[in-house]
Every structure is written in C-alpha cells, then in structure tokens.
Amino acid sequence: MGKTTVSATLARAAAHQGLSTLIVEVEGKSGLSAMYGEPAFSYDEVTLAAADPDAGFGGVRARTLTPDDALLDYLENAGMSRISRRLVASGALDMVATAVPGIRDILVLGKVRSIEQARSADLVVLDAPAAGHAISFLQSASGLADAVRLGPINSQAKDVLAMLDDPERCQVLLVTLPEETPVNELVDTAYQLEDRVGVSLGPVVVNGCYPELPGLDADPAAAAAEADTSLRRGEAAALAAAAEFRRDRMALQAEQLTRLNDALPLPQLRLPYLFDAELGPNQLDELAAALLAGIEDLPAPHVEVEP
C-alpha cells in the first residue's frame, strides 16, 4: 500500500512547514532508512534531515521501537535498572514481554505516548503495522485495561487510551492504492478501527495515482506528421498500445476512487505514481509537495457555533 512511503512523505511535508518531525518504526526493515541513504534505524534517534531555520525547514528524525527495548526503558525509568540487567543476562526478557496477551503492543504504545508527552518533536509519525495487525495493535490498550484492573499495566493502558481517544493528539491516516482489493481492505479496516478502537480517522491517503496525460486519444502517426517528424516501423502501433493501456489504467483508477468515496465518507489525499526505481529525498520532496497541495484543497472543518 505504500504506508512507509506515506509516513516518510508526511514527515517531509511537515518539515517543509517548519515542524520538527520524528518518525517511529515499530516493525523494522521498512525501507524507510534506505530512502535517506541511512542504515537500519536503532532504538536511539538518528537525524535524517537536519533542521534549517533560515529555510523554514523543521528537520526529520527517526528511531525504531521494539517491545524488548520499550520494556527495558520502562523498568529503568521506574528505578528497576537492576532487574532489567538481570532479565537481559538471564535471557528471560522475551518471556516477560509475552507473559500477558497484548503486553508487547502496549509496551510500544506506552513508549510512543511518553515520546508524545515529552514534546521533543512537533509531530510524531508512527509507521504502524499493516492492516491485519494494526487493529489488534491499537486495540491492545482497551483489552489490557479491561483485563488488568490495577497496577502499572492498567495505568499504562489507560494513559495510552487517553492518547488514542483524543483527536488533538492522535489520528490514523489510512493508506491505499486505487485498486479493488486495497480499497476493500481499507474500507473494512476503517470501520473496524472506528467500531473496535474508537480512534479518530484523518483523510485517506491514496498512493500511486497516475496523473492525467493529454493527447492519449491522438493518432500517433497523425501527431508525428503534424509535428513534422516521422516514426520508425512499429512505433505508431507501440505508442497506440501504450496510450490504450494508460486510458484503461486511468478508467480503473477513477472507478476505484469513486467507489472509495462512496463507501467511506472521508476526504482523500492523492499522491502521484512516481516512475522511479528508488525513492530518495528528491522524490519525497515531490510527494510532500503533492500532499501539501492536497491538504490545502481539503474542505474547511465544520465548526458548531453556540447561539
């Protein structure tokens, strides 16, 4: 679906608006680090793009979170560093982190909440798990709050729930492609998130949209003659076939975008398909510009005014 590309794009767009941005990976090996020519992220923050106040660029940083690291961090912050060292030395760390169903997810979400509360960045972008795991990942807080009534796990779960339930602090941006199966999955995920998690949904990001091309209906041979040039043997047929393919692709895209709009009443932010073998800062800047243009065109939020 391109969720990692969209995470990188969102961070880049925010940085261009002067906001300091922190990307948090929770699964690792997403390929995001390669977009900046960096090695795989670690638990410690790395700077992907330095802030430039004179240019109004807020900068982009990144880190990864694992349940084991989050647990060690939690124990050390709670004054139990000796216990954390024993867990590592004994090899029992993984057993502790899986002792309660959902505990691994709540450890990560709890660390995300502490990062958000520390205000070390204007925007925290969480590159969350794919759709199947995302729902259980975000639902872990409510499940643990119900299952564990007292103690630090309950407190951690309630703190995470407070963050997830506050649209000023947390929103989910779902990402899809303008194709039938991805659209079906996104619509199903959106309603499950609202029904089972209660988190606020932001605009839907549709990645990989083919831009409109003029002249697709033109006859290649006639267009060449009009331009006072000539085509080699077979080129007219190849160009006509390519134009037909693009028209069919655009028709499919328009159909799926309309179907998505009818099935899910959320604004859409559309990112163009980039015909590049690899994505780097230049391509992310192109996508960020498209994202910001789409945000600029979003309808203004409706505000109720008390009489």
Mean pLDDT across the chain, nearest whole number?
82
Q: Is 271 helix (H, G, I), strand (E, B) or coil?
A: strand
Three-state SS sequence of 201-252: ECCEEEEEECCCCCCCCCCHHHHHHHCCCCCCCCHHHHHHHHHHHHHHHHHH
In a 13 Å sphere around the CA of 262, the CA atoms on its Cβ side amount to 7
User: With bands split at pLDDT 50, 70 and 90, how would you rate the model's confidence at 92?
Assistant: very low
Reply yes or no on whether the pLDDT at 147 is more than 70. Answer: no
Reply yes or no on whether the pLDDT at 272 is more than 60. Answer: yes
Reply yes or no on whether the pLDDT at 307 is more than 60. Answer: no
More confident: 164 or 51: 51
Instruction: Express each pLDDT in 100-139 by its tens digit.
Output: 545 677 778 888 888 898 998 999 999 887 766 777 777 7
Q: How far apart are CA 54 and CA 57, in angstroms?
A: 8
Q: How far apart are CA 264 and CA 190, in angstroms?
A: 8
pLDDT at 79: 52
CA distances from 209 to 12, 28, 251 (A): 19, 26, 12
pLDDT at 269: 95
Kindly report whether the global pTM for this prediction surpasses the value 0.85: no
User: With bands split at pLDDT 50, 70 and 90, how would you rate the model's confidence at 22?
Assistant: very high
Return the sign of the alpha-carbon dihedral for residues 177, 65, 109, 171: negative
pLDDT at 209: 94
More confident: 37 or 170: 170
Torsion angle of the four alpha carbons 278, 40, 31, 291, in this order, in degrees rounded to the nearest 10: -90
pLDDT at 135: 76
pLDDT at 65: 84
Q: How far apart are CA 90 and CA 85, in angstroms?
A: 9
List domains and CATH numbers for the chain. 3-212+264-293 (3.40.50.300)
pLDDT at 165: 86
Q: How far apart are CA 72 and CA 195, in angstroms?
A: 33
pLDDT at 303: 47
Asked if residues 178 and 206 have their Cβ atoms less than 8 Å apart, the reply is yes
Q: How far apart are CA 163 and CA 166, in angstroms?
A: 5
